[in-house]
Amino acid sequence: MSNTEHMIKLEDVHKYFGKLHVLRGINLEVDRSDVVVLIGPSGSGKSTLLRCLNFLELAQQGSIYIDGQLVDPDSTNLDKVRARVGMVFQHFNLFPHKNVLENVTMAPINVRKEKKKAAREKARALLSQVGLEDKDRAYPSQLSGGQKQRVAIARALAMEPDIMLFDEATSALDPELVGEVLQVMQDLAAEGMTMLVVTHEMGFAREVADRVVMMDEGLIIEDNTPQQMFDSPKEERTSKFLRQVL
Amino acid sequence: MLSILQEHFFAFLEATSMTLRLTAISLLLAVAVGLIVAFLKLSPNRLLNGAANVYITVIRGTPLIVQLMFLYFGISRLIVLSSFWAGALALAIHAGAYVAEIFRGAIQSIDKGQMEASRSLGIPYWQSMRLVVLPQAFRRAVPPLGNQFIIGLKDSSLVAYLGVSEIYGTALSIQAENFQPFETYVVAGMYYLVLVLIFTLLVNRLEARLDVEKRRNEPEVPQLEYATP
């Protein structure tokens, strides 16, 4: 599509779980190659927002545009959209019955119909990009948390997505393993990937993000540059939240 | 007892082959039935879900012998089945209900994140089922399935009452001739026991081969830095 379009655009998105009103009218725009970090207290709807962007959850109201195109779940092939929107989960969700290389090549071979040999070559390149070129034959149970998450990132990248979503990608990791995953994410940002990142790593937000978005109770309450968000937040709730986490 | 073993060796050999054929066919069908019913039961569609529930409730709630008699004699005005096929089908329908519950439990036991990760990569639902969920679910289903298969093997003895000469049926006729019920039934029991032991061995082998968890303890690359004391 044209470069002037936003890579992601949400208009008045609402999501309910039964009676629970989790997203209460989200408006958000993310430009190509931008890194937007979502912060906010637990239960504020950050993860739900990411899951709506990958259509693992369907918003009941509002419009979601991916790369300038309105995604209507009733008339759009969501599998095609999901293939372009990579997602990294808190608990990695690697396929335990497949080795690392098979984890990374499964979707390219089965969805993109890539030739096995080409898919494997690409997977090896991605694995070396995340520093795991020697682990291609290992099974997920043989990897550390940080290694698992880096495989998960390589697996998502193998679909050559336009957007990467990170849902608390480092929250389940031992502290000493967080850095290696954040480094991979930072490299990805530097390469120009459009990223939406839910994280509690404020250092990452400050260093890598183009914008930081503060959510509370299903609403975006502040959308700012990292510097302003952390040094002089506009909203009282933001400064209160930041005091608690920093 | 030895004399019975010797004298009726070929009769029991044929009977064993009949038992194995009955068991193999019925359990193969039971796996197919069970898989379909498990998916019906997991379906959000209330009609399909209800149909699966009725099947499981009725089959688990009535004795196998009643089901056997019903299929062979009960519906003979509608369909005439040979005693072998009436037996095999009844066993299949019976075991199918239990197998369905085994598969349903196994599929539900797979972490939802597995399906989500697969879908998030753009892999469609049924392909995700086939590539990601089912292979893991089958592994978990192997021990209870093995158990169910052993029950199925022994349940096949009831088909004797339809006049099929499998192991128990053969024993029935032999003891009627030789008036040695004690020895004859012990011999029949031994045949079943040996079959079950062989089968158990096979299931254990399969389990060990499929066990990915075990590989955790034998890493290809030792990772001492993460070893816990």
Q: For chain B, what are the domain ranges?
A: 2-216
Instruction: Give per-residue pLDDT as tens, B37-85.
Output: 999 999 999 999 999 999 999 999 999 999 999 999 888 888 888 999 9
Instruction: Give this complex's ipTM.
Output: 0.92
Q: Determine, for residues A96 and B119 on separate chains, whether the beta-carbon distance falls below 8 Å.
A: no
Nearest to A142 among B121, B127, B221 (CB): B221
- The angle that helices B46-61 and B9-42 make with each other, rounded to 10 degrees, is 150
Instruction: Give per-residue pLDDT as tens, A186-199.
Output: 999 999 999 999 99
Q: B111 to chain A: which residues are within 8 Å by CB? A: 93
Question: What single DSSP character describes residue A97?
Answer: T
B224 touches chain A (CB under 8 A): no
> Residue B218, SS3?
coil
Which chain A residues touch B if contact means CB-CB below 8 Å?
Answer: 54, 56, 79-87, 89, 91, 93-97, 106-107, 110-111, 134-135, 137-139, 141-142, 144, 152, 155-156, 159
Task: Tell me the nearest-neighbour CA distance from B136 into chain A, angstroms.
Answer: 7
Distance CA A99, CA A141 (A): 9
Nearest to A144 among B111, B216, B223 (CB): B223
Q: Is the pLDDT of residue B148 over 70?
A: yes
Instruction: Give per-residue pLDDT as tens, B190-201.
Output: 999 999 999 999
H or E stretch including B4?
helix B2-7
How high does pLDDT run on average in chain B? 90
Burial class (CB in 10 A: 0-12, 13-18, 19+), B201: exposed
Task: Tell me the nearest-neighbour CA distance from B115 into chain A, angstroms.
Answer: 9
Q: Is the pLDDT of residue B30 over 70?
A: yes
Q: Is the domain defined by B2-216 classed in CATH 1.10.287.3510?
A: no
pTM of the entire predicted model: 0.85
Distance CA A161, CA A108 (A): 11
Instruction: Give per-residue pLDDT as tens, A206-218.
Output: 999 999 999 999 9
- β-pairing, A8-17 vs A61-66, is antiparallel
Q: A84 to chain B: which residues are within 8 Å by CB? A: 122
Compute the 3-state secondary structure of chain B and give helix, strand, coil in percent, each to the nearest 5.
85, 0, 15
Q: B136 to chain A: which residues are within 8 Å by CB? A: 95-97
Instruction: Give per-residue pLDDT as tens, A23-72.
Output: 999 999 999 999 999 999 999 999 999 999 999 999 999 999 999 999 99
Q: A97 to chain B: which residues are within 8 Å by CB? A: 135-136, 139, 212
